[in-house]
Structure 1
Amino acid sequence: MADHTGDPQHAQDTWVDEAMARLSTEQKAALLYGADPWQVRSPGSLHLHDLVMTDGPNGARGVTFHTGVSRCFPCETALAATWDPDLVAEVAAAIGAEARSKGAAVLLAPAVNLHRNPLAGRNFECFSEDPELSAQMAAAYIAGVQSQGVACCVKHLVCNDQESGRHTASSEIGDAALRELYLTPFEVAARAGAWSIMAAYNKLNGEYVTEYPWLLTTVLRDEWAWDGVVVSDWYATQSTAKALTAGLDLEMPGPSQLRGDKLLKALETGELSSEDIDRSARRVLRLLHRTQHRPMTAPPADPAALIREAGARGIVLLKNDGVLPLAVAPGALIAVIGSGADAGQPQGGGSCQVNPPYVSGPLSAIRARLAPDATVEFARGWADQTRPRPLTAQDIKIEYRLRGAPDSEVLATEYAVSLSMSWFNSVLPGYEPGDLAVRVTACIIPAENGVHQLTLAAIGHGRLTVDGQVLLDQRSAGGRDVIFDLGRITQRADIALEAGRPAELVIDYEPWSESGLLRLQAGLIPPAPDPAAAVRLAAAADLAIVVAEHPHGVETEGVDRPHLGFDPAQNDLISRVCAANPRTVVVVNTGSPAAMPWADLAAAIVQLWYPGQELGESLADVLTGAVNPSGKLPVTFPARAEDAPSWPYYPGTEEEVRYGEGLAMGYRGHTVPPAFPFGFGLSYASFRLGEASAAAMADGYQVTVPVTNVSGRDGREVVQLYARLADDRPFLELKAFATVHVPAGRTVPAVLAVPASRLRTWSGTGWRYLSGPVEARIGTSSADLPIAVLLGA
């Protein structure tokens, strides 16, 4: 085909026209569904790479779940807590480069659903409860990823804001809330040039999103003038002709269930026209061209350093009674306590998970930073006894044989990084799952003496032995409810193990032939730690650091959290440590809000989020003051789950989720003072905001606020502008923000752009743009807005 030069858009359109002219109807139809779980075949005559997709958004896993490693970046909530689009774009460029290194052209990210309720299991994958903050983060993320020639697939369109009933429920929502809140990040993403968007599982006001022409065509194509590809969430396609004519371009995953020959049959019967197929085929060809003919910018040179910086910049200091930054006297004893203090969780669970090359743990990082001046001692104090972490072990080998022939030739051998394994559709290419037997062998070396619990969960039939002794024999047919919540089928067995002594573990696994996603997971729960020993250590120490986190699998795709709090025993440990040592720092490593009944007892509280593989280094940077904390909450932290405005309507039923709070979602609707408000975050520096000035611009307003650092420490401040868009609204709404670095003793202007498009309300038939004076208030959180300014006065 001709190599067109000149205008890139003209060259792209010309290439697509020529490609369409060369393809048969069958070839065009084959572009509209996956050939396998992760890719769409490119017609051989076009001499292009296939269109390979990979999960995100906190990394790029590639097309395999349990083999190979990928860098683990901060979760989206952690990125949003930086309130810095430039930094997010830089991180996203590194993720885009990682996707390229995996051979992928489409990254299934970012997720821009809103944190409507703090218990939603997948909140950590999304940016914020606020559409403005989410939209700006999304635009920056898209720019970064697509600078590497990798398409973003923005997900999950729309109102897929919880895991309960996500496959079946209809999100029942009014026009104003839908337009002003939940669609806003998608609109900004579309106008920012995202190359693809993912249609969600759920229904919207009674219509499945994947076959809703009003959403996929009228809004997305006609109103927003978007020209990308609409991809179904995996198995979300509901029909053949109806979905395609509604605007669903691509059915995933493959092999196809509702397209393939069914498309050609619908064409024969007149349910579809050739124009229907051509329209979507053109869009997929455009995506192929964009991902293979786009000039790429240079990715960040040191991704690990960037992960560390972004993780530290997203940390939010919630409380500080002067104990931070750490000032350690020679010979001091520092107690590090908690189930997550030695390793820590770098990420949440579900399809976003990657296998990082390493994880920097809090304990090792704090020791390295404070030694040799201080002695750092560790006591776990509490460990969850119900949800095991997947075992990591030495030399995990996976061998594939024909079922019923245990001594037959090994068909293939793989090596895994943990005993958490997943296979999508195909266990081994060329064989049916029911024909195969899988043997997993590993050497486990326990760190503690005593009675441990080994656990096993298998979709299919799994048998686990240790040193030749059969301990577990488990069968399960799987199903939608257990794919991401293996706790429902996990079996356990006690075993006495000796610290440092190797034990040989073998799992013989026969996959269940009827499941599209197969999973096998083994875990090891060590003996329950002694909380009294941890309290004694804290009492003897000059300072205590407690790392609190949810058990593995609590924050994950597939299930929502059962409650806002930590395990009662973990809360009790934290309270006892705080009582034993008034200089206690509590580090909260969660991806969304957690109740903190011990907050008044703690000297300092640090919200870590899930910051990726450099977890410990990022935390140590902030605790020691190497990085001055500047993160701000992208979500409200309610004192109780019942205080969330969505609580009366959450989670709904399997058939219906009613968005009864309307526009009063998140901080807009809190009638009870929260534990920590949206936009809040402390610093080791002190700032003073001066008088704001507003000037009319061609497309809105520009507001300038002088920010003075009145302390002796350099730092960053996030200046936030909230506006009241109508007299009958009892709340202010975030409409602009700016993050400024201010050296000690200096004044730096914060410049906030407020485009007219942000000052609009949905009237029922269309947008109403405000022309008169708009009341705005400026400050450093949604609850601290001392400066008033009129826009358009």
Structure 2
Amino acid sequence: MDDLIEELLAKLDLPGKLRLISGAAMFRFAGDPSIGLDEMPVSDGPSGVRGEYWDERDPSVSLPSGTAVAATWDPALVTEIGALIAHEARRKGVYAVLGPTINLHRSPLGGRHFECFSEDPLLTAEMAGAYVAAVQAYGVSACPKHYVANDSETDRFTVDVRADDRTLRELYLYPFERSVEAGAWMIMDAYNSVNGVTMTENALLDEPLKGTWGFDGVVVSDWTAVRSTTGAAKGTDIAMPGPPMLWGAPLADAVEQGEVPESAIDDKVRRILRFAARVGALNGNPAATPEFSEAQAQDVVRRAAADGMVLVSNDGVLPLRPDTTVALLGPNAGLPRFMGGGSATVIPTHTTTPVEGLDAVLSVRHTPGVRLVEKLIPVPLDLVTDPETGTPGLSLRFLDGDTVIDTQHRTAGNLMLFGDQKAAGSTAIEIRARLRADTAGDWQLGVGTLGQARLDLDGETVLDETITFEGTDPVGAILYPPQRSVTRTLTEGQEVDVRITVTTPPAIPGLGIILGLTFGITRPQRPEDEEFAAAIELARTSDVAVVVVGTTEQIESEGFDRADLRLPGRQDELVAAVAAANPRTIVVVNSGAPVEMPWRDDVAAVLLSWFPGQEFGAALADVLTGTAEPGGRLPTTWPKRIEDVPVLATAPEPDNALPYDEGIHIGYRAWLKAEVTPAYSFGHGLGYTTWSLTDLSVSGRTATLTVTNTGDRPGKQVVQAYLSRENSAIDRPVRWLAAFATVTVEPGESRTVTLELPQRAFEHWTDAGWAIEPGSFTLHVGTSVSALPLTAEIS
């Protein structure tokens, strides 16, 4: 490969080289036909492969979020998920997926907490390595992100993380180090600065990434993260998106003036050509990926979702018997969150809600009790007809004055226009649909977008104004644009002609139009107190009550951090009232990150579902009925209340600095140091059987023990090993995770479990490099950081 790379490099002049180190489009790396290099589409990919374009006509498999995957503690399952991701990438025609997200859960307020794996660097590293190896086994590149310390979203473009070398090496860099060891072909650098230097120019790209670790792949910028011409040329290899703005001609001038050596450009091109060879873009023959039918893909997602659900408490009410009558309540029962917001969003082929999943296997009565959706929701497909085709959906037209440039039949009320060249040639964008009211009452009809927007109902203009965005993050402006609406009283079955016209915003050179556009509605709703009372009555007259609560896209998403840990609206009040009416109340928490649960000791069971992907309802039914075990263990600590959280701050100081003063003590390490008991500890999780751990022995850095399933049904257990060291000469955590193993054991049977403790678990970072403090360490083995019955000494 090296000889081929040098041969191709020699054929390129400086402009040709510079063309390759900037993107060709929003989600496309540049190619060069003269050397046989194809352009290389890439896709967002942490929880599904959306593809180069955001279009519901080309749907994707929606996988569980990062926290849900990490909650399985099962790298073998990640291998299955990786094969599915590779299949989806090849089906979408992309060469790389931009994932996994391997920043750490430093604070539970972090907006992308759901997208990241864990608060622990070892668990994150193990899951990241498995993801990278699994996807790349089929010739599709993974792209671990965001290097490094992009652990919160507030002011993410300008925040300067201040962290010492030991903190960076032992915590935040470690998952990236393991990703490189797993063979990562690409890594994305972050928006933020670290210790005063923005990451696209930071010396950490050279050392340790390209230096000690020997990373020979491509460093791609986060989108628009390149801030300068000469600075970023030091370490970043591809500036995205394209076409070039700060690079290209300005970089050519810098090379010609001697400010940037051409040898630095040559190194970037070598890396790009090596990457292209690995993914098959040099020979036009990408490697084959596994084939998945729709049913097979659904099976993987369904099993992964169930295996990541964490049963944190259960008084014996679960699993449910087949003849159980269920009051299914809560706002997320019928309108759940399948995924987190932001660039991790995909458009699935289908979804199953908790209502649909449970109704298929149990006797269910449903009402939400409370509603969270204060904003318009994208109009459901079954309520609208495209006037052009007469089929369910809407008509999207691009207009140049009175001339129709293009007409598209669309099947979603929420449209993301990314790089559509026909849109770029238009002066206006128009949505037309015929809406049918399926219930009588006051409907909200409206539009979500930016710019000049007009809404016509039955030919009458009812809204015409310029809509502006008050936030600072461009992702929020596109994904969650401001909304405007009007109220119309409709009878059941009444139809309304809807026309939304938006003045086309200026096109971005080379990228076209980037715009979010929503036709939204709100159906008539029962009065709030009446709806609340109806839920309590259903709970009182049912065998059990299942309350599905959760967060919203306005709370957990890319682009901003959370302000608190409370469930929005009257959800806490609903759970408390339902539990008072029916002591057999089960609460399912549909959030990607921790929330406060003031009622947790008053209900019969609490199940954390995370954002579980498209098969939520089916997986939830499997778990609640015992068809599948809730296989998850907590990858992050859940607090009782926000006041107890030892590391919380996500907002920078006035000088943009965000000090990581806690050093190596984040997550459960910080909780142990503060001697505060959380609601649920790191690693905690219950199944439907009972366990015994015995016979711990140690030889060198290898520990063995016996795990026995003492219950009456098969079960999964995650055996966890932690180290500690009393009277250490250096600052250490009270305990830290050193190894883990996931086992499935039949009832009454035993299994010998072997834990290999890596040398790094005993090392600490010094100015001279990695070191081991001589002497004795204590090994603690059990089922969570706070449930460790077995100990042994290791010298």
Q: Secondary structure at the match of 1:463?
A: strand
Match of residue 290 from structure 1: 278
Of 277-286 and 597-606, more deviation after overlay is shown by 597-606
1:518 is the counterpart of 2:515:
yes
Give the distance between the partners of 1:752 and 1:151, measured in 2 at CA.
30
Which deviations, in whole Å up to 9, do the C-alpha atoms of 1:343-362 show, x marking residues without a partner?
A: 42210111111110111111
After TM superposition, give the deviation of residue 504 of structure 1 in Å. 3.4
Give the distance between the partners of 2:644 and 2:292, measured in 1 at CA.
42
After TM superposition, give the deviation of residue 482 of structure 1 in Å. 5.7
Please point out which of 407, 410, 428 is paired with 2:421: 428
Please point out which of 149, 165, 178 is paired with 2:168: 178
Of 782-791 and 225-234, more deviation after overlay is shown by 782-791
Match of residue 466 from structure 2: 475
Give the distance between the partners of 2:326 and 2:297, measured in 1 at CA.
31
Q: Secondary structure at the match of 1:415?
A: strand
Give the distance between the partners of 1:225 and 1:125, measured in 2 at CA.
27
1:585 is the counterpart of 2:582:
no
Of 454-463 and 26-35, more deviation after overlay is shown by 454-463
1:129 is the counterpart of 2:133:
no
Match of residue 496 from structure 1: 489
Code of the residue aligned with 2:445 in structure 1: it is L
Residue 731 and residue 240 in structure 1: after superposition, are their counterparts in 2 closer, same or farther (change >3 A)?
Answer: same
Match of residue 699 from structure 2: 695
Match of residue 501 from structure 2: 508
After TM superposition, give the deviation of residue 645 of structure 1 in Å. 2.0
Match of residue 389 from structure 2: none
Q: Secondary structure at the match of 1:154?
A: coil
Match of residue 761 from structure 1: 764
Give the distance between the partners of 2:492 and 2:658, measured in 1 at CA.
50
Match of residue 558 from structure 1: 559
Code of the residue aligned with 1:767 in structure 2: it is W
Which deviations, in whole Å up to 9, do the C-alpha atoms of 1:540-583 show, x marking residues without a partner?
A: 11111111111233211111122101124121111111111111
- Contact 1:113 / 1:159 at 8 angstroms: preserved in 2? yes
Give the distance between the partners of 1:439 and 1:595, measured in 2 at CA.
43
- Contact 2:305 / 2:612 at 8 angstroms: preserved in 1? yes
1:161 is the counterpart of 2:154:
no
Of 109-118 and 716-725, more deviation after overlay is shown by 716-725
Please point out which of 378, 401, 405 is paired with 2:366: 378
Match of residue 484 from structure 1: 476
Please point out which of 438, 441, 464 is paired with 2:455: 464
Match of residue 81 from structure 1: 71
- Contact 1:198 / 1:230 at 8 angstroms: preserved in 2? yes
After TM superposition, give the deviation of residue 201 of structure 1 in Å. 0.5
1:717 is the counterpart of 2:717:
yes
- Contact 1:89 / 1:142 at 8 angstroms: preserved in 2? no
Q: Return the TM-score normalized by structure 2.
A: 0.92
After TM superposition, give the deviation of residue 651 of structure 1 in Å. 5.4
Which deviations, in whole Å up to 9, do the C-alpha atoms of 1:325-344 show, x marking residues without a partner?
A: 00143xx5321112111242
Residue 101 and residue 514 in structure 1: after superposition, are their counterparts in 2 closer, same or farther (change >3 A)?
Answer: closer
Which deviations, in whole Å up to 9, do the C-alpha atoms of 1:9-43 show, x marking residues without a partner?
A: xxx22221221122222211111000111112211
Give the distance between the partners of 1:747 and 1:474, measured in 2 at CA.
69
1:43 is the counterpart of 2:32:
yes
Match of residue 748 from structure 2: 745
After TM superposition, give the deviation of residue 493 of structure 1 in Å. 2.4
Match of residue 338 from structure 1: 330
1:787 is the counterpart of 2:781:
no
Code of the residue aligned with 2:662 in structure 1: it is E
After TM superposition, give the deviation of residue 192 of structure 1 in Å. 1.1
Which deviations, in whole Å up to 9, do the C-alpha atoms of 1:393-415 show, x marking residues without a partner?
A: 24434534344x2x32x212233
Residue 648 and residue 17 in structure 1: after superposition, are their counterparts in 2 closer, same or farther (change >3 A)?
Answer: closer
Give the distance between the partners of 1:384 and 1:655, measured in 2 at CA.
34
Of 150-159 and 562-571, more deviation after overlay is shown by 562-571
Give the distance between the partners of 1:468 and 1:354, measured in 2 at CA.
34
Q: Secondary structure at the match of 1:217?
A: helix
After TM superposition, give the deviation of residue 481 of structure 1 in Å. 3.1
Q: Secondary structure at the match of 2:5?
A: helix
Residue 333 and residue 503 in structure 1: after superposition, are their counterparts in 2 closer, same or farther (change >3 A)?
Answer: farther
Give the distance between the partners of 2:461 and 2:575, measured in 1 at CA.
39
Q: Secondary structure at the match of 1:690?
A: strand
Q: Return the TM-score normalized by structure 1.
A: 0.93
After TM superposition, give the deviation of residue 271 of structure 1 in Å. 1.1
1:679 is the counterpart of 2:672:
no
Residue 280 and residue 297 in structure 1: after superposition, are their counterparts in 2 closer, same or farther (change >3 A)?
Answer: same
After TM superposition, give the deviation of residue 745 of structure 1 in Å. 0.4
Give the distance between the partners of 1:39 and 1:419, measured in 2 at CA.
27
Residue 497 and residue 358 in structure 1: after superposition, are their counterparts in 2 closer, same or farther (change >3 A)?
Answer: farther
Residue 568 and residue 553 in structure 1: after superposition, are their counterparts in 2 closer, same or farther (change >3 A)?
Answer: closer
Match of residue 391 from structure 1: 379
Match of residue 21 from structure 1: 10
After TM superposition, give the deviation of residue 751 of structure 1 in Å. 1.7
- Contact 1:646 / 1:659 at 8 angstroms: preserved in 2? no
Give the distance between the partners of 1:377 and 1:470, measured in 2 at CA.
41
- Contact 2:105 / 2:151 at 8 angstroms: preserved in 1? yes
Residue correspondences, number: 763
After TM superposition, give the deviation of residue 503 of structure 1 in Å. 3.6
Match of residue 140 from structure 1: 130
Give the distance between the partners of 2:33 and 2:441, measured in 1 at CA.
60
After TM superposition, give the deviation of residue 755 of structure 1 in Å. 1.4
Residue 447 and residue 137 in structure 1: after superposition, are their counterparts in 2 closer, same or farther (change >3 A)?
Answer: farther
1:243 is the counterpart of 2:232:
yes
Please point out which of 346, 353, 361 is paired with 1:361: 353
- Contact 1:392 / 1:417 at 8 angstroms: preserved in 2? no
- Contact 1:649 / 1:658 at 8 angstroms: preserved in 2? no
Which deviations, in whole Å up to 9, do the C-alpha atoms of 1:636-684 show, x marking residues without a partner?
A: 0011223222225755457121112111111101132111111100111
Please point out which of 57, 66, 90 is paired with 1:100: 90
Structure 1 runs not aligned, ≥5 long: 1-11
Q: Secondary structure at the match of 1:600?
A: helix
Code of the residue aligned with 1:155 in structure 2: it is K
Give the distance between the partners of 1:690 and 1:455, measured in 2 at CA.
63
1:188 is the counterpart of 2:168:
no
Q: Secondary structure at the match of 2:360?
A: helix
Which deviations, in whole Å up to 9, do the C-alpha atoms of 1:189-221 show, x marking residues without a partner?
A: 112111011110011011001011x21112111
1:449 is the counterpart of 2:450:
no
After TM superposition, give the deviation of residue 760 of structure 1 in Å. 1.1
- Contact 2:84 / 2:290 at 8 angstroms: preserved in 1? no
1:705 is the counterpart of 2:702:
no
Give the distance between the partners of 2:653 and 2:756, measured in 1 at CA.
38
- Contact 2:539 / 2:582 at 8 angstroms: preserved in 1? yes
Please point out which of 730, 733, 736 is paired with 1:733: 736
- Contact 1:387 / 1:487 at 8 angstroms: preserved in 2? no
After TM superposition, give the deviation of residue 494 of structure 1 in Å. 2.1
Residue 389 and residue 787 in structure 1: after superposition, are their counterparts in 2 closer, same or farther (change >3 A)?
Answer: farther
Please point out which of 205, 222, 242 is paired with 1:216: 205
RMSD between aligned alpha carbons? 2.0
Please point out which of 771, 775, 779 is paired with 1:772: 775
Q: Secondary structure at the match of 2:223?
A: coil
After TM superposition, give the deviation of residue 47 of structure 1 in Å. 2.5
- Contact 1:398 / 1:414 at 8 angstroms: preserved in 2? yes
